[in-house]
Structure 1
Amino acid sequence: MAKDIISIIIPVLNEAAIIQTTLRGLQRDSALEIIVVDGGSVDETVTLAQQMGVRVISLVGRGRAAQMNAGANIAQGEILLFLHIDTQLPPDFDDLVSNTLEQPDVIAGAFELTIDGAERSLRWIEMLVKMRSHLFSLPYGDQAIFITKQVFKDMGGYSDLPIMEDFEFIKRLKRQGKIALAPGAVTTSSRRWQKLGVWKTTLINQLIIIGYYLGVSPTKLSNFYRSQKCNKNHSS
Structure 2
Amino acid sequence: MLNGRGPRVKRALTETDSNDAPPKFVAYEDYRALYDHVLKLTRQCLPYGTGPPTIGEPVFCHSNNDVFSFSSPNGDESRPTSYAEISAKNLPKQLSTLSIAQEAAKMLDKATRAVIERFPDSKDDPEQEKRDLEFFSTFSTKHGLPSPSQAHRHPSKTACRPLKLQFASNSDRDKFLNGFFKAKNADPSLSSIQSRPRARRDLTREELKKLYESRKFVYDNNLKEKSSKFIMVDIEYKLNKNPRPFL
TM-score bin (small chain)? under 0.3
More helix by share: 1
Bigger relative CO (Cα 8 Å, ≥ 6 apart): 1
Length-normalised TM-score, structure 1:
0.26
More strand by share: 1
